[in-house]
Amino acid sequence: MTDETVLSVADLTVTIGTRRGAARAVAGVDWSVRAGQTLALVGESGSGKSMSVLAATGLAPRAARVTGDVRLLGTDLAALSAARRRRMRGRHVGFVFQDPMTSLNPVLTVGRQIGEASEVHLGLTRRAARARAIEMLELVGIPSAADRVDAYPHQLSGGMRQRAVIAMALVCEPDLLIADEPTTALDVTTQAQIVELVADLQRRLGTAVVWISHDLGVVAGLADTVAVMYGGRIVEQGAVDAVFAEPAHPYTAALLAARPDPDANVTELVTIPGTPPSPLELPEGCAFWPRCSVRGDSRCERELPPLVPVSAGHQVRTFYPRQPTGEDR
Amino acid sequence: MTRFLLRRLLQSGIVLLGVTLVVFLLLQLVPGDPVRVALGTRFDPETYEALRSRAGLDQPLPVQYASYVGQALTGDLGVSFRSGRPVTAIVLERLPATLSLAITAVVFALLVAFPLGVLSALRSGSVFDHAARVFSQFGVSVPDFWMGIMGILLFAGVLGWFPPSGYVALTEDPVGWASHVFLPAVTIGLVTASILTRFIRSSVLEVLAEDYVRTAEAKGLPTRVVVVRHVLRNALIPVVTVVAVQLASLLGGVIVIEVLFAWPGVGRLTYDAVQARDYPVLQGAILLVAALFLLVNLLVDLLYARLDPRIRVR
């Protein structure tokens, strides 16, 4: 625990005003990531995993109201002006979004888009920024970078574009890389390449990574710690080995059980019955209760379980933690 | 590029040929005998027959059409029934008035619509946005001739700042031209500005929701850079089309406004030609308008290729 904490989030709550009332997308979330480490935020769509990161870094939609304590490199982001918060983005935090088809500007060359952050944050000239962009394209493994620097996004394949986006995120050598489902829109072989690329760059640059994903397979190979989110709350978090080996929350266990096993000769995929709760009407008690296989008593329905430790650094939000038998997998 | 231009010019030629055919046939359907109208009180059977055969109107229709097109290719659009002057000259001498009015109106419209549309999109839901929406609603719903009359009453009548009507050539007297063009250009420009404001607003709003705008914000770029480089560059591509369509339709002459302000443009010419059943002039005016429309469209296509790297002219 001597490592420097890059980004920490405490009691983060995001409420989004909609026509049908206030939606609580994130409800009191705590997590942190240290230099060189990878935190995986895992959950279904709408669980609040992306929103918690966007809100922490000031990219939440305008209709969102964000409260909580967010510290980037020890600086309280809430205390900063909007302009200074903006200067932290790009310089200290880089972002890779889900779909490289839409996250690049179609009318600017990739080189220009990679270089522009370095012009703003590092004061590079246009020419120097272009040279830097070529360097970055080489770093992310794009062949003949000197030619590709002047290519437009539509001239690159999906995998190449995502590499360009990664180059863009890392151009100022940020302390933190936020990867919001960066492999979801890619085909499987390209996914693996992108995962390896990020892991490799992280080793070389010492960047902290927050990896947002619903893909447990990716997370298992990549993350140091994992936080499983459900209904805007963290339901389980801890070291990735501990959580995956001994999931204490029924939801985590169900997620792991739902992973298709390539060796097993299955005819039907395992699913979790029911649907996630709407952030417009989160239940008073445990949000997972209606879908829970353990479902003890009406206490779960009325009362929100606290996040309690099950072992060192491993916490779970349930009244009925699964016993660490290991035989469930 | 050259091949693209050649192909487009060929296409334009075919379209123009189609326009001549449609206009030619339409005019056959219009009741009333142009030669009789042209002669008026000077009518007597001999002159009537002479004029008819001189205009070729006693020939069968296909022959009339073929000779019209054949002469049009050499730049000869016939002779006015009314004045006896060549149509080509009559039509071309109206062009500067229409061009200068249309361009001034579009420039005025852009000066109003661009800041209004962009700002109301950037501050959507604000008081400014609502005010802009009321303005554009007003502009599209109030008839332009009424606005023109009100403009004349206020600025020419009460305030006496501008002449109520008339035209001075830009080449003769730029100041006189400017004071004469102001009222009609603003009247037309307000309508165009209202249409453009709405279009620019929705186009900018659409681009603001794009992922790459969030990417630009995530890079920590200053708002000005995000808006100008990432939002506007993309949002204005479709706007070019709308501006061009507006410009092209204004080049066709704004008949009501040109009549109201006694502006001797192509619209006024068309109106007078219809009144006088001066078919050669009417055909010539319509042909000119069609040619201008095609030209503007070609320019837009070329501009598109410059603005959007995904489009390459081939």
Is 0.80 topped by the overall pTM?
A: yes
> Nearest CA to CA, how far is B231 from chain A (Å)?
9
What type of residue is A179? Answer: A
Cβ of B309 under 8 Å from any chain A Cβ?
yes
Cα–Cα distance for residue pair B91/A177, rounded to 1 Å: 66
Taking CB atoms and an 8 Å limit, are A165 and B215 in contact across chains?
Answer: yes
Q: What is the pLDDT of residues B144-165, one digit of tens each?
A: 888 888 888 888 888 888 888 8
- Quickly list DSSP for B269-300: HHHHHHHHT-HHHHHHHHHHHHHHHHHHHHHH
Q: Count of A–B CB contacts within 8 Å?
A: 82
Tokens describing residue A279:
């952030």
> Residue B158 has what DSSP assignment?
I
Q: A212 by DSSP, 3-state: which? A: strand
- Among B215, B227, B237, B311, the strongest candidate for a mutation testing the A interface, having the largest count of A CBs within 10 A, is B215
Cα–Cα distance for residue pair B312/B307, rounded to 1 Å: 10
Cβ of B306 under 8 Å from any chain A Cβ?
no
Taking CB atoms and an 8 Å limit, are B309 and A102 in contact across chains?
Answer: no
Specify the pLDDT at position B225.
Answer: 92
Of A38-47, A64-73, B188-197, B247-256, the poorest mean pLDDT is in B247-256
- Quickly list DSSP for A277-299: PPTTS--SS-TTGGG-SS---HH
Cβ of B125 under 8 Å from any chain A Cβ?
no
Of A121-125, A228-232, B203-207, B309-313, the poorest mean pLDDT is in B309-313
3-state helix, strand, coil in chain B (%, to 5): 80, 0, 20
In the block, tokens 């949000």 appear at A287
Residue of chain B minimizing CA distance to A180: B215
Query: What does the pLDDT profile of chain A (329 residues) look like in tens digits?
Result: 445 899 999 999 999 888 888 888 888 889 999 998 999 999 888 888 889 999 888 888 888 888 899 999 988 888 888 888 888 998 999 999 988 889 999 999 999 999 999 999 999 999 999 999 999 999 888 999 999 999 999 999 888 999 999 999 999 999 999 999 888 878 888 888 888 888 888 988 889 999 998 888 888 888 999 999 988 889 899 998 888 888 888 888 888 887 777 676 666 777 777 778 777 777 777 888 778 777 667 777 777 888 888 888 888 888 887 776 544 44
Cα–Cα distance for residue pair A321/A315, rounded to 1 Å: 10
Nearest to A196 by CA among A166, A176, A225: A166
Mean pLDDT of B84-95: 89
Q: What is the pLDDT of residues A195-206, one digit of tens each?
A: 888 888 898 888
